[in-house]
Structure 1
Amino acid sequence: MPQPPLPSSKTSDGPDERAAEVDDLFSDERGFFAEQAPMPGNGKKSHPVKVEEPPAHYHGHRDRLRNRYREHGDTALADYEILELLLFRLIPRRDTKPIAKALIDRFGNLAGVFGAEATLLQEVKGVGESVALDLKLIASVGQRILKSELRGKQVLSSWSSVIDYCHAAMAYEAREQFRILFLDKRNALIADEVQGRGTVDHTPVYPREVVRRALELSATAIILVHNHPSGDPTPSRADIDMTKTIIDTAKPLGITVHDHIIIGKDGHVSFRGLRLI
């Protein structure tokens, strides 16, 4: 007796369509079984074989770079390679050469990288929050080293150290910053304080507050310092007028304004050097 046809959800399917479905079924099965681990002779499923991956391509490069630094010092390396060496420690399982180059391209040089704000550093692909904070920590260590060279010394006789410190601390700030170096009667550094932060082209400065803080610290002289984020350290008319007001306020109280320094990425300007004081 002939068997009844199997039920189908598509009663209109013809022979060609049913054959295609069978082919698809076997095709899927072949793909499925091809992905399975090979079966040993006893019929039990074997465990996947662990394959040792070859060392990452950048491991040999790291060793070569370390050897160059060990044998020849930093003079044998470009800025991005110095940064790359540092990033080896911060990002141990990544090729850090592209990251180092991207940082230099974005911020111009090593000083620009370490002077950039953490949020801006994180805009570079491969730099997360922890790496950005580590870079800022290293920058702070460098600033502390420069600042320690001023402690206990006559600031006016260590002028290049003053400029180096102020440049490291302020040249790459994204906003204006007004800083004061407070000196004792020997012109040694008592304190270094940021009195105000402003916008990209203005910082509010209050002469009475400047003088009041000098009196609190028993300072007999001060050096005013602020930065121009634009990079051009040329003083504005407002800078000149503000400096004159502070001098006039401090002088009757026995406080001398030795200088006002403007720091920019492209250099610095001294009011005394320009004979504005």
Structure 2
Amino acid sequence: MGFDFEEAGPARIHYHGHRDRLRSRFREAGADALADYELLELALFSALPRRDTKPIAKALLATFGSLGEVLAASPTRLKEIDGVGDAVILQLKLMRAFAERLGRHEVRSRQVLGSWSTLLDYCRTAMAFEDREQFRILFLDKKNALIADEVQQRGTVDHTPVYPREVMRRALELSATALILVHNHPSGDPSPSRADIQMTKTLIDVGKPLGVTVHDHIIIGRDGHASFRGMGLM
């Protein structure tokens, strides 16, 4: 387990100039001028004001593989990294919350079907690195604007129970006329399973007499995404 602690005296002086240089590079050249580990160590300055954050940032990326996976990692796993304690975990979870909130705002401010890349970016941020399946529904109005974005179910590493009647009941409560279904595959492979295909067909059939259209079912994985409509599965 890692701990947050502060170093005192001469031992901590060596990284002061590095912090100033890193801040200056970010201010003058922007995020594109910094490597992922540098952005991460910069973000951890406030959580660890008296500790060198570079080795922690590099260890996090080496362990989890990417910034997205670092932000999505569970507190239990994060604490396995030396130097990671409650302050670092809070900072990382706050960063993820900002990213999700920003993505949700971008989706809400546009017609969903007219901003597909924005939708995919949001779904990837929210779901790609989860270690359990979750089934999310985007409820749309007649103009295909977003009414609500809700996680209906959370499941195991390879299964999420979906109840079509509950989905449609919620759609009618919200006066939604269309849905986009989204779920993640923690394995990383977004290829749909037979169960995914059958569940989607059932939802389409249940929604049709109620005037609720299923526009698409998107599966999000670490390695990309799969669109049922794009694959000709609906």
Q: TM-score, normalised by structure 2?
A: 0.93
What is residue 122 of structure 1 aligned with on the other side? 79
Q: Which residue of 2 aligns with 1:264?
A: 221
Q: Which amino acid aligns with 1:124?
A: I
Which residue in 2 is equivalent to 1:165? Answer: 122
1:217 to 162, 165, 174: 174
Shift of 1:152: 4.1
2:149 to 192, 199, 203: 192
The answer to whether structure 1 residue 96 and structure 2 residue 58 are counterparts is: no
Find the counterpart in structure 2 of residue 46 from structure 1.
none
Which of these residues, 225, 230, 241, is aligned with residue 187 of structure 2?
A: 230
- 1-side partners of 2:54 and 2:9: how far apart? 22
Contact 1:171/1:265 (<8 A) preserved: yes
Whether the 8 Å CA contact 1:262–1:270 is kept in 2: the answer is: yes
Alignment of 1:57-72 (within 5 A): 57-72=14-29
Are the counterparts in 2 of residues 115 and 168 from structure 1 also a CA contact under 8 Å?
A: no
| Alignment of 1:179 onto 2:144 | no
Per-residue deviation, 1:221: 0.3
Partner of 1:276 in structure 2? 233
Contact in 2 for aligned 1:259/1:271 (Cα 8 Å): yes
CA distance in 1, matches of 2:16, 2:109: 46
Tell me what 2:13 maps to: 56
Paired residues of 2:48 and 2:87 also in contact (CA < 8 A): no
Cα RMSD of the aligned pairs, angstroms, is 1.3
Partner residue in 2 for 1:111: 68
In the alignment, what sits opposite 1:156?
A: 113
> In structure 2, what is the Cα distance between the partners aligned to 1:119 and 1:183?
37
- For CA contacts below 8 A with separation 6 or more, give which structure has more relative contact order: 2
Residues 182 and 220 of structure 2 are in contact (CA less than 8 Å); yes or no, is this contact kept in structure 1? yes
Give yes or no for the alignment of 1:146 onto 2:107.
Answer: no
SS of 1:57's partner is: helix
Contact 1:183 1:220 in 2 (8 A): yes
Q: Deviations over 1:161-188 (max 9, x none)?
A: 1100000000000000000000001110
Partners of 2:9 and 2:222 lie apart in 1 by 47
Q: Is the 1:117–1:173 Cα contact (8 Å) retained in structure 2?
A: no
Look up the SS of the partner of 1:89 in the other structure. coil
Aligned twin of 1:201: 158
User: Once the 2 structures are TM-superposed, how far is the Cα of residue 70 of structure 1 from its aligned partner?
Assistant: 2.1
Deviation at 1:201, TM superposition (A): 0.3
The letter for the 2-side match of 1:274 is M
For structure 1, list consecutive stretches of 5 or more residues without a partner in the other structure. 1-51
Q: Tell me which structure has the larger Cα radius of gyration.
A: 1
Q: In the TM superposition, what is the alpha-carbon distance from 1:53 to its structure 2 partner?
A: 4.2
User: Which residue pairs with 1:7 in the alignment?
Assistant: none
Aligned equivalents of 1:57, 1:168: Cα separation in 2: 35
What 5-or-longer segments of structure 2 have no aligned partner? 1-7
Distance in 1 separating the partners of 2:130 and 2:9:
45
SS of structure 1 residue aligned to 2:44: helix
1:257 counterpart SS class: strand
Offset of residue 57 of structure 1: 1.2
* 2:5 aligned partner: none
Equivalence for 2:42: 85
CA distance in 1, matches of 2:192, 2:81: 33
